[in-house]
Amino acid sequence: MSLGNTAAAKRPVLEAQGISKHYGGIVALDKVDLTLNEGEVLAIVGDNGAGKSTLIKALTGAIAKTTGVIRFDGAETQIDTPGDAKTAGIETVYQDLALVNEISITKNVFLGREIVRDDWLGRWLGVLDFKKMDAEIRDLFDKLDIRIADIYRDAEAFSGGQRQAVALSKTVMFGKRVAILDEPTAALGVRESKMAMDLVRSLKDHGLSVIMITHNMQHVLNYCDRVMVLRLGRLVAVRDVADVDGDTLVGLITGAKEAGAQA
Amino acid sequence: MSNTDGHSGTSNPGTSAAWIVRIRHDLMQIWPVLASLILIYGFFFTMSPPFRSIDTLLSIFGQASILAILACGTTIVLISGGLDLSVGSIFAVVGVSVGIFMAEWGLPPFAAVCLGLAIGAALGALNGTIQVLTKVPAFIVTLGGLTAYKGLAEILASGRDLSRFPDAFKFFGTGNAIPMVIMFAAALLTGLFLTKTRLGNRAFAIGGNEEVARLSGVPIAKSRIYYYMLGGLLAGLAAMVEVAKLNFAMPARGQSYELYAIAAVVIGGTSLFGGRGGVGKTLLGMFIMQTIIVGLSYLGVGTSYQRIAIGAIIIAAVYWDVWRRTAR
Ligand SMILES: Nc1ncnc2c1ncn2[C@@H]1O[C@H](COP(=O)(O)OP(=O)(O)OP(=O)(O)O)[C@@H](O)[C@H]1O
Ligand SMILES: [Mg+2]
């Protein structure tokens, strides 16, 4: 239970307690707690293999957690499949698993939530309404300033930055409450990184609460409200971003600095 | 939009830009296959005067039609990243079953056909269900189905004379024309399914990257069962066209059809690894294969040598698929 100041004043959207994940004898995640407050951007940092991706996969039903309880809007919620998370209003961009190369941008954005025609063909045979899906994507890309014209082309034809922008746009389109992003700027150039982070900011402006995994300390300091640090599967610190600097964070990540009380 | 069936251009989604992008994309993918077909046909055309007749051309289409109907189902299953080796045996079970329904039970053709389709669908769905429940690989489950369903067909047929069917049923096997019409209808419906419907579109996503599809909330297991079900249904349809054409049913029919179907699908350019393909490609692949078989027999090449030729072409087609994947 956090005794903090600013953060505790806000209402928590998503709370997780005692999340563990064991792979056989390997403890990838050891009883980690997490609180995401309404309207904040929460960063998760840690070295490679610290358990960041495992944590958000366990949170969103992508993998079965070994132990742990999840509360959404204060009520205990079963999130056992990715579908459960989406139903709750949580939209996730997983690391390296954002798009299917073989299908178009439109089909990627709407995968799993395709719009069917508003007639008997749609209702009975699941005939898709491509016109409507294309139009919604054009609106969305306009709004987010994503410059991709040929949304009919297969996803593999696009650059890393464009693909990441498409993946992020999915969270704007469908995320009702929470967006979770696993390294949204990994392998992106300077310009593309800035574009991705602007999208993160606009998620916040759209009223979503955001969890973002990153290795970029500058992004934590510039775009996030709080930060949690994982090391070897354990939670070692939670801080308000206002109270830390880059060196402190690096110290916490590597273990050079031992953590005191949580923010 | 990895689909190349000729009809898909007629009612395209979206603006004219979508239309142009898709046509260009399809042409880029399909030209090597189309060029091969023309070259192969041209080769036999120059080599063998009797091959030049229009009757030969029609018989190529006619002989291709039954296998092509079955291969429509194979196309769906392969696009979804699956594999069904049992459709040749499903073909045998359905052929024998409709024989029994009409020759022994005296059921009217319409009822026999409906039951035949249902049996094909059920056996296909059983393959899919066993796979998703046990997680045993498709190759093994459907290899089991290949022998088990074959045994079932033999048991059903033993001691029975399954021949001399009603004219209304035999109509479906009339000449080359009616099987061809059924083939094109089956291909059209399969193409519409793959390009226009939610379930059909998800086959590309599941075959392309099952994990991403799962994380996107696509129900993988349920969808897969449907794809195998459709594969079985189309195998059943093909079986009934053949029974109508031959006017008898026996459990030996359908032998190796699954392999010829897979060969045609892959020759046409549908990926053996899932995620890409289309039913128009499958028709082209089937025509290529059938042209080679018919052409070689016109040149006096025996069936054993024909098999060797087809085998070599399959390997070449898969090599091309692998090469395309790595070249990107
Ligand atoms: N399927 C698995 N089987 C066994 N161990 C696994 C599996 N998935 C992850 N792990 C282990 O769990 C630990 C945490 O992995 P995780 O992917 O969560 O790290 P991460 O913090 O996201 O690292 P990165 O910054 O490199 O993305 C690692 O030691 C990893 O080897
Ligand atoms: Mg990770």
Residue spans per domain, chain B: 30-326
In the chain, the amino acid numbered A43 is A
Q: How close is the nearest chain A Cα to the Cα of B83, in Å?
A: 19
- Burial (0-12, 13-18, 19+ Cβ within 10 Å), A29: buried
Q: Is A5 on the interface with B (CB under 8 A)?
A: no
Tokens 């019409």 correspond to: B181
Chain A's closest residue to B79, CA to CA, is A102
Are the Cβ atoms of A127 and B197 closer than 8 angstroms? yes
Structure tokens belonging to residue B135: 């997680």
How far is A82 from chain B, CA to nearest CA, in Å?
6
Listed residues: CB within 5 A of ion ligand 2? A 53, 95
Q: Which atom of ligand 1 is nearest to the CA of A183?
A: 27
**DSSP designation for A184:** T
In the CATH hierarchy, which fold is given to the domain comprising B30-326? ABC transporter involved in vitamin B12 uptake, BtuC (1.10.3470)
Examine the pLDDT at B25 and tell me if it is beyond 80: no
Mean pLDDT on A3-22: 77
Which residues have any ligand 1 atom within 6 Å of their CB?
Answer: A 23, 26, 28, 46, 48-54, 95
| B217 torsion bin: left (phi>0), alpha (psi -120 to 50), beta (else) | left
Closest ligand to A52 CA? 1
A135, closest residue in chain B (CA to CA): B14
| B 273-302 → A contacts, CB under 8 A | 275-276
Mean pLDDT of A57-77: 94
Burial B262-287 (b: 16+ CB within 10 A, else e): bbbbbbbbbbbebbbbbbbbbbbbbb
Residue whose pair of structure tokens reads 């079963």 in the numeric block: A78
Report the alpha-carbon distance of residue B94 to residue B128 in Å, rounded: 18
Residue B221 has pLDDT above 70, yes or no: yes
Task: Answer whether A130 sits within 8 Å of B276, measured CB to CB.
Answer: no
**Other beta carbons less than 10 A from residue B182's beta carbon:** 21
What pLDDT digit, counting tens, does each position of B282-312 carry?
999 999 999 998 999 999 998 899 889 888 8
Phi/psi at A49 (nearest 5 deg)?
80, 10
- pTM of this structure: 0.90
DSSP-assigned states of every residue in A11-55: PEEEEEEEEEEEETTEEEEEEEEEEEETT-EEEEE--TTSSHHHH
**Which residue of chain A has the CA closest to B273?**
A102
Residue B262: per-residue pLDDT: 93
CATH of A3-100+175-254, one of 3.20.20.10, 3.40.50.300, 3.40.47.10, 3.40.50.620: 3.40.50.300
The alpha-carbon gap from A206 to the nearest alpha carbon of chain B, in Å, equals 22
Q: pLDDT (tens digit, 9 = 90+) per residue, B117-172?
A: 999 999 999 999 999 999 999 999 999 999 999 999 999 998 888 888 888 888 98
Helix or strand or coil: residue B219?
A: coil
**pLDDT single digits (tens) A28-50:** 999 999 999 999 999 999 999 99
Question: Does pLDDT of B8 surpass 60?
Answer: no
Residue ranges per structural domain of chain A: 3-100+175-254
Q: Which of A33-42, A190-199, A235-244 has the lowest mean pLDDT?
A: A190-199
Residue numbers in A near B219 (CB within 8 A) = 83
* Mutational pocket test of ligand 1: of A21, A29, A52, the residue with most ligand atoms within 8 Å of the beta carbon: A52
Asked if A147 reaches chain B (Cβ–Cβ under 8 Å), the answer is no
B71-83: pLDDT as tens digits: 999 999 999 999 9
Confidence band, pLDDT 50/70/90 cuts, at residue B28: confident
Q: A144 or B105, which is more confident?
A: B105
Distance CA(A78)–CA(B185), nearest Å, equals 46
